[in-house]
């Protein structure tokens, strides 16, 4: 069955996704379900107010008052998304005039798109992206949002936030809104570039926006805090953000060590590598989600694994941008936590992200089953990892199916040929 889960990219439909409160009591009888303890048969799930009230295994399958399902698995958290970039997918695949395309040349094209998107356009793009996420097994999303101002600044920063929240409500996906502080162009560039100005806020403006989002959300949205990166945020500003995050016990997200150039620039500025400096100057804990961490050293990796932070990996985006590969096996061997994200939306499919994650490691190491635990299937190992890490990173507790957890469920089509031969 675990093999089928990883391969069943077209074999599911959404069964019951109700992150909102006030919903009806529903009882679902699943022929098979993937619980926090593993696979179980004849599983009765009692659901109320969007939460799983109780889980009963090996239950009476003859009752007629239940909704029935074949194979039920948890929905996956998309722990890192830039929804607006869905409009760019496939439009940056031509070789540029220099003959060498990198993350930095891709970024220039992203800036051009960002300069055109207003709140109405963002709502439409996000609605499409969120719908696609739901259709393939993501049931929640952390929207890492730095597109704060509209072109022309007509409606203020709240309009862009509400566009994201409206798209989430319209589609039914569980939203973690992560507004992002972006205040400078680089370690030695104290002002944002012209292309970055609509991203930029002062720390005071950012905290005001964060508190506005917390006060005006419809109650179904988790609000976190994002710092774009060490190159885009000063140390003093990051200190203020972490103080607010600690006060409110909310998720704290940041890009880190995605590009080797960023590592070199950080060392030149702080005499330390990015993760090294973060660990030295701050105390990240299990509220932190560090995105990419591609160019992390073994020493940094060992220290980071001890603090409980989640590393969010975005394999299809990292491959598309030519970033590099995260040292996955070393991280898992130290008990490190992972989540996955669709990031630039070049691929929207959690199982393809897991496949890319594993296969990239295989190509690099010229060996197989890199993510597998002892006596565990690679697909199951990866799924269990991202269920735990994704719920933690998004701050809503969704993850493995258990009593008291959110009822974010996906059902697999038991008759799909993709599941043939994987019935136990």
Cα–Cα separations (whole angstroms), residue 122 to 69, 194, 307, 399: 35, 21, 36, 28
From-to residues of CATH 3.20.20.140 in the chain: 76-394
Higher pLDDT, 219 or 246: 246
Give yes or no for residue 3 having a pLDDT over 70.
no
CA angle in degrees (0–180, nearest 5) for 328-334-337 = 65
* CATH superfamily ID and name for 76-394: Metal-dependent hydrolases (3.20.20.140)
Confidence of residue 153 (pLDDT cuts 50, 70, 90): low
From-to residues of CATH 2.30.40.10 in the chain: 2-74+405-417
Domain 2-74+405-417 has CATH 3.40.50.300: no
> In this structure, are residues 361 and 325 in contact, taking their beta carbons and an 8 Å threshold?
yes
Q: Which residues contact 78 (CB under 8 A, 6 or more apart)?
A: 133, 138, 140, 141, 142, 340, 341, 342, 350, 390
Summarised one tens digit per residue, pLDDT across range 262-277 is 999 999 999 999 999 9
- Whether 292 is catalytic: yes
Cβ neighbour number for residue 287 with a 10 Å cutoff: 22
Query: Average pLDDT, whole number, for the chain?
Result: 90
- Whether 58 is catalytic: no
> How far is C-alpha 202 from the chain's CA centre?
26
Give yes or no for residue 332 having a pLDDT over 50.
yes
Higher pLDDT, 165 or 5: 165
Summarised one tens digit per residue, pLDDT across range 192-216 is 999 898 899 999 999 999 999 999 9
Q: How many whole angstroms separate alpha carbon 409 and alpha carbon 18?
A: 9
Q: Which residues contact 357 (CB under 8 A, 6 or more apart)?
A: 313, 315, 328, 340, 371, 382
Set 255, 343, 396, 408: catalytic member: 343
Summarised one tens digit per residue, pLDDT across range 379-401 is 999 999 999 999 999 999 889 99
Say which residue the tokens 């039914």 belong to. 172
Set 292, 295, 323, 396: catalytic member: 292
Mean pLDDT of 82-88: 95
Residues of the chain with pLDDT > 70, as a percent, come to 92
Q: How many whole angstroms separate alpha carbon 75 and alpha carbon 134?
A: 9
* Closest alpha carbon to 176 in 400, 19, 384: 19
Torsion of CA 344, 348, 353, 356, to 10 degrees: -80
> In this structure, are residues 98 and 105 in contact, taking their beta carbons and an 8 Å threshold?
yes
> How far is C-alpha 374 from the chain's CA centre?
27
Confidence of residue 150 (pLDDT cuts 50, 70, 90): confident
pLDDT at 19: 39
Summarised one tens digit per residue, pLDDT across range 47-79 is 988 889 999 999 988 877 678 888 999 999 999
């Amino acid at each position: 069955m675990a093999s089928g889960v990883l391969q069943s990219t077209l074999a599911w439909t959404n069964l019951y996704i109700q992150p909102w409160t006030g919903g009806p009591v529903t009882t679902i009888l699943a022929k098979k379900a993937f619980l926090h303890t593993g696979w179980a048969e004849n599983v009765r799930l009692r659901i109320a107010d969007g939460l799983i009230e109780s889980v009963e295994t090996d239950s009476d399958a003859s009752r007629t008052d239940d909704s029935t399902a074949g194979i039920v698995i948890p929905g996956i958290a998309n722990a890192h998304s830039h929804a607006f970039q869905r409009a760019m997918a496939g439009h940056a695949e031509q070789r540029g005039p220099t003959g060498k395309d990198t993350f930095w040349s891709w970024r220039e094209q992203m800036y051009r798109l960002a300069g055109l998107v207003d709140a109405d356009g963002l709502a439409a793009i996000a609605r499409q992206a969120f719908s696609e996420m739901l259709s393939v097994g993501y049931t929640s999303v952390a929207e890492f949002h730095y597109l704060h101002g509209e072109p022309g600044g007509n409606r203020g920063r709240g309009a862009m936030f509400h566009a994201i929240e409206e798209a989430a409500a319209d589609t039914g996906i569980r939203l973690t809104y992560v507004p992002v502080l972006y205040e400078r162009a680089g370690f030695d560039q104290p002002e944002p570039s012209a292309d970055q100005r609509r991203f930029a806020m002062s720390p005071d403006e950012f905290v005001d926006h964060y508190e506005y989002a917390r006060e005006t959300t419809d109650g179904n949205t988790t609000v976190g805090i994002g710092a774009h990166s060490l190159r885009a945020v000063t140390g003093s500003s990051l200190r203020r953000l972490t103080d607010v995050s600690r006060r409110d016990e909310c998720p704290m997200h940041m890009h880190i060590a995605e590009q080797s150039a960023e590592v070199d620039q950080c060392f030149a500025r702080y005499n330390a590598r990015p993760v090294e400096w973060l660990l030295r100057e701050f105390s990240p804990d299990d509220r932190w989600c560090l995105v990419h961490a591609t160019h992390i050293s073994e020493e940094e990796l060992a220290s980071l694994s001890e603090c409980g932070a989640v590393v969010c990996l975005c394999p299809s985006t990292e491959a598309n941008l030519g970033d590099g590969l995260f040292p996955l096996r070393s991280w898992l061997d130290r008990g490190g936590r992972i989540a996955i994200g669709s990031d630039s939306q070049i691929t929207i499919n959690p199982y393809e992200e897991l496949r890319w994650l594993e296969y990239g490691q295989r190509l690099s190491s010229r060996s197989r089953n890199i993510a597998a635990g002892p006596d565990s299937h690679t697909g199951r190992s990866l799924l269990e990892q991202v269920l735990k890490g994704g719920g933690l990173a998004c701050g809503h507790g969704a993850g493995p199916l258990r009593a008291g957890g959110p009822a974010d469920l996906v059902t697999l089509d038991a008759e799909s040929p993709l599941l043939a031969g994987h019935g136990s």
